Structure 1
C-alpha cells in the first residue's frame, strides 16, 4: 500500500488543525484528523482540544456523520486503543465504518500504542509514516516530557557583544532590536510557561505576555510563573488579568519543574535574570539557549548570566550551535543564535 496525493494534502491539513492556537502542549499530544470520502474530498475534520475533550478522530467523525462510512481517516498520531477519560479511537473508527486509516507517527506510549494493529486485525487498511517527521516536531515538547518526566526548558536572553544584558546604571532598553523582540514573542507563543525570578519582577516589572506587532496581548497566553520566596506587590504587571500567574516560593528547581509537569505544562520559556538563569544552567536543566546578540559594546554593567561556578577554561560549558539568523538591519540588527548543550537530548 502507499498514500495518495489527497491523503498527503489531508495530513498537512491535519497538522494545521493539531496546531490550532490555544491547544495545550500537554499532558496529551496535539492531534488533528481529516476524513476523506472515497473520491478524496474532505467530509470531516477535527482536532484534540486538551485533556478530557474528544480525541481528534472522534471530533472528525462527528463532523463527517454518515459520510464517514467507507471513508479514509487521516490522523497525525496512531489512533489510541485504550480507555481513559474518553473511549478508544479505534472503536470509534470501527463503529463509524471507516475503510482506511492513514497516520503519521506511531503512538509512543505503552497504554495507547497498538491501535494500528488492532484496526488492521479488524480488516481496516492501515498505512503509517506519512509526514511522520512533521508530526513528531509538532509534539516535540510532549515527546521530551515522556522521555525526561519534566518540561523542556528554553533559556532566552539578549546581550551585547561583550556579554552585557544591561549598562552600569541598570538600563537595558533596548539591547534587543524590534525585530528581535517580535521574534521573542513568536518563541514565547510556542511555550506554555513564561518564567522569571522574583527579583526580575521586583526590579523590571515585566508583563510576561505574548503580544503582536502592535504590543497587544494575544488571546492565548502561557502560564506566567515567578520563582522565588520574595514577597511582591500585587500591582505588578505579572499579576494582572491578562494571563494566569503562579508564584512558586522555592529555590528547588527540580521541584519547580515537577510542579509544572504535574500541571500538564510541557515547555518553559525562561526569561529570568542572571541569577535564575545561572541556577538553571548549574543544575543542568537548560535544554536550549536562544540569545539575541546586539552589535554594541558596553564595557561594563550587568552580565547576561550569573556565577556558574566555573573557575578554569577547562571547565567551560560547551554549547552546540544549531541555528544562526540575522534579524533586522542597520542599528536594528540583532543576531539570533540557537544552541543546545553538548550531548543534550
Structure 2
C-alpha cells in the first residue's frame, strides 16, 4: 500500500487528532530521553475525552495519562498514539494491556515501535483482544519526533548532530585561536536548546581547555520560549563526553565544577580507554560504548576542525548544524573542517540541505550527508 493510498484510509478527524498527538509528544523533547517522545489522544463521538504525553523515563506513558483523563469515556473510543503501545513490563506496565482494559474500540498508531521488545507485539496484542488497529498515519512526522531512539533501536548507535560555527568565509577562528564570539547571542541560545534536547555532548580536551567550556545546559541562556514552558529543575543535563587521549584535562577547569555527569575518554587510567591500531581514539567504538553504558541515543558534537573531519570520515554524522555569521576573517584564519584527504571532485562530500533559516543575524543551515560511504 502506497503512502497516498494509506492516507486515504484515514478521515480528516483522524489527521487532526494524530496531529494533536504529535504536538503533545513534542512537549517531552527536553525531559523524556532516553525514552521516546510519545503523545496520545482519546476521542469518543468526535470529542477529545483524554490526552497526554510521556514526561520522563520511569513515569507513566502517554496512553496512561490519556486513559486517566478519559476514565469510563474511553469505552468504545479511538486512541491516537504516535508510537505503537508497548507490550512488555519495564518500569511501567504495558500500555497495550491498559488500552484493552479500558475497552477502547480502535487504536491508530503513527508508527511501529522499533524497540525489539515491542516491534509489532503491542499491535498484535490489541488485535487479539478484538481492537481495530490502523498504522501509518503521519508516520514521517512521528519518525521525526525520535531520531535518537529510533536510530539506537535499529543500529545500536546514537543519532549524531555535528555543530559548527564559522564566519561567512568559512573560518572558525582567527589564526591566533580567538573565536569568541563568532556567532550572535541568538545563535548561542539556539545551541543551548540543542544541548538540552540531546542526551550527551561530545567534545575534545582541546576545545574544553581553549574555551574553558563547561558544556552544560545553562538555564539563563536558553530561549525565552523554553523557559516559559518548563521549570528549571525539569530539564536534564546531558552527559558530557570529552576525548582526552593525552590526559591534558585538569581539575581547575569549569567542566569539573558544574552540574552534570562527565565521561572522560583517555588512553589509560581509570577512564574509558578506546584506542584503535594507530593509537587514536576509536570513535565508532567510543560512541557505541557511551550509548550503551550511559543511555545516550542522541549525541550533540561541539568541537574543532580535527574532530569534525574525523567524525565525517568515520561516517558517524547524521546531521550537520552549521551557523554562519555575517563576518569575514580571511584565509589566514582557522578552517571549519580539517583535512578530508580528497584528491578528486568525484570524492567531494555532497550534502542535502534540509533547512535554512535566520537565527538572530546568523544563518543556520541544517544538512545531511548524501553519500553512504565516506572515503
TM-score by length of 2: 0.79
- Name the structure 2 match of 1:336: 364
- In the aligned structure 2, how far is the partner of 1:204 from the partner of 1:144? 31
- Name the structure 2 match of 1:253: 283
Gaps of 5+ in 2: 1-7, 267-272, 274-280
Contact 1:193 1:222 in 2 (8 A): yes
After TM superposition, list the pairs within 5 Å mapping 1:52-201 onto structure 2. Answer: 52-112=58-118, 113-201=120-208
- Name the structure 1 match of 2:269: none
Segments of 4+ in structure 1 off by > 4 A? 1-7, 213-219
* Aligned CA-pair RMSD: 2.9
Structure 1 residues 131, 284: CA separation in 2 closer, same or farther (over 3 Å shift)?
Answer: closer
CA positional deviation for 1:81: 2.8
Identify which of 242, 266, 269 aligns with 1:226. Answer: 242
Contact 2:40 2:66 in 1 (8 A): yes
Are 2:218 and 1:212 aligned?
no
CA positional deviation for 1:95: 1.2
CA positional deviation for 1:272: 1.0
- In the aligned structure 2, how far is the partner of 1:321 from the partner of 1:11? 28
- Name the structure 2 match of 1:239: 256
Aligned residue-pair number: 339
CA positional deviation for 1:139: 1.4
Identify which of 18, 24, 39 aligns with 2:32. Answer: 24
Structure 1 residues 7, 240: CA separation in 2 closer, same or farther (over 3 Å shift)?
Answer: farther
- Name the structure 2 match of 1:41: 47
CA positional deviation for 1:85: 4.1
Gaps of 5+ in 1: none
SS at 1:77 equivalent: coil
**Range with greater deviation from structure 2 (2-11 or 131-140):** 2-11
CA positional deviation for 1:56: 2.3
Structure 1 residues 85, 342: CA separation in 2 closer, same or farther (over 3 Å shift)?
Answer: same
SS at 2:104 equivalent: coil
Contact 2:147 2:159 in 1 (8 A): no
Structure 1 residues 17, 344: CA separation in 2 closer, same or farther (over 3 Å shift)?
Answer: farther
- In the aligned structure 1, how far is the partner of 2:175 from the partner of 2:199? 33
CA positional deviation for 1:163: 2.9
Contact 2:82 2:142 in 1 (8 A): yes
CA positional deviation for 1:152: 1.4
